[in-house]
Structure 1
Amino acid sequence: MADHSIAGKTVLITGGAKNLGGLLARDLARQGAKAVAIHYNSAATRPAAEDTVAAIKAAGAEAAAFQADLTTAGAVEALFADAIAAMGRPDIAINTVGKVLKKPFVEITEAEYDEMTAVNSKAAFFFIREAGRHLSDNGKLCTLVTSLLGAFTPFYAAYAGTKAPVEHFTRAASKEFGARGISVTAIGPGPMDTPFFYPAEGADAVAYHKAAAALSAFTKTGLTDIEDIVPFIRFLVSDGWWMTGQTVLVNGGYTTK
């Protein structure tokens, strides 16, 4: 029977330098992962990536960081090649990359649409493709989406709309990779208390989101805490392997399908 524990496994996390990805990288190292490769996008994030690498090593795992703009297929291919050369073939691949845009539909430019598609859809597609090519048998693959996939709301057409294809990528990949024992999932947190959330929102919207979830009163800020998402991803890439092809919204009662 396949081993679905995290202990001894090699992990690749995009957006793994800070925020949810960084916390997840540290957590999986503490769970006994053998090696954790983290990706970060820009030079400005390098110090955070170095801090996360140090924390992973302190937890007893091997670690390395790789910088890349993942909006081309070639860059995603290169990331996997570099990570495999340094750390070995991954058993767990997690994509946390994303970009938020909140703007009226009629004001969204073609350039903005193209950028959102490249970050939220294209990068995810080729990450899933490369994971399908390179994950070990019985591997685990998880992509971060958004709880807005279960919302009826204005102004997020370019954000939720370019995350939405990942739901079908997940279904299709689960069918195609399942013969090798690979589980494929997507997880959609509610609005998270990270620096990515606040620049896109005005004060009224922030107040609304902080009160919108059924369990808002029991979090630090009313928003989704990244600490509450990590256990779900940990489960999906370990003992939760039997759930595959699914997009799961984890948000304290913020939206549902």
Structure 2
Amino acid sequence: MAERQISAAMDFQGGLTGRLKNRRPPCRAPQMFFQGIMKSNFFSILLVIFLCTLIGGCGLFGKKPEKTAPELLFEGRDAFENEKYRRALESFQRLRDWYPFSQHATEATIRIADSHYALKEYAEAAVVYAEFERLHPNNEETPRAVFQLAMCHFERMDSIDRDQTAARNALYIFLRLQEDYANSPYAAKAGEKIQHCRESLAGAELSVASYYFRTKAFTAAKARLKTLINAYPETPQAEEGRLLLKKISQVLEKAEKE
């Protein structure tokens, strides 16, 4: 009797184990489907938020410009004429930033440079004048932009005993202006500035030559004086250089006789 009970129990356990093994897992397809939709929507929302943040200035969510391009141009002109150059600069910059494809953007660019120049911010002005020439080589304002670019260097010229890089840059641009825009009134205006630059550079050569003369470095002095006379022959400094060169020759002749 006991053996039959044990055998029956084993048969029941075996059958139960078989049914459990053969049982199909619950279907998770609906759950996975809805999770996929949620994930997809979540990333789509993130993408939309990112794009809206990136192009916020396009006007969809960004703040619209408070003034039109003509209004900003008029405001900038008025401020400039009243010598409120910082305010003018801000108006012209807003115009170019907000309306880069406006018909007024070109004028705004050179007006930005003019405002920097009026504020004596010559380095900043030079960058914008050069940009204007590069972008608008045939514009009627381009000769003036080139002249003003040269003036940015001209205004930073130092004394003859200091670095002459600004004088060289100004001279080069003034000469280029005369060559590229020979019929412009600004080419004529460049003439007197060119002479001033040449005299500054000649003065620097004479200053160095005089120093060499005082320290009795006569060979070096003669080399500088010859450079001065050959490069800037029409300047008053060249005439002084000729006199000093003659004096050096006399000193050397006297030394040889002794």
TM over 0.5: no
Greater gyration radius: 2
TM-score (norm 1): 0.28
TM-score (norm 2): 0.28
The answer to which structure has the higher helix fraction is 2
The answer to which structure has the higher strand fraction is 1
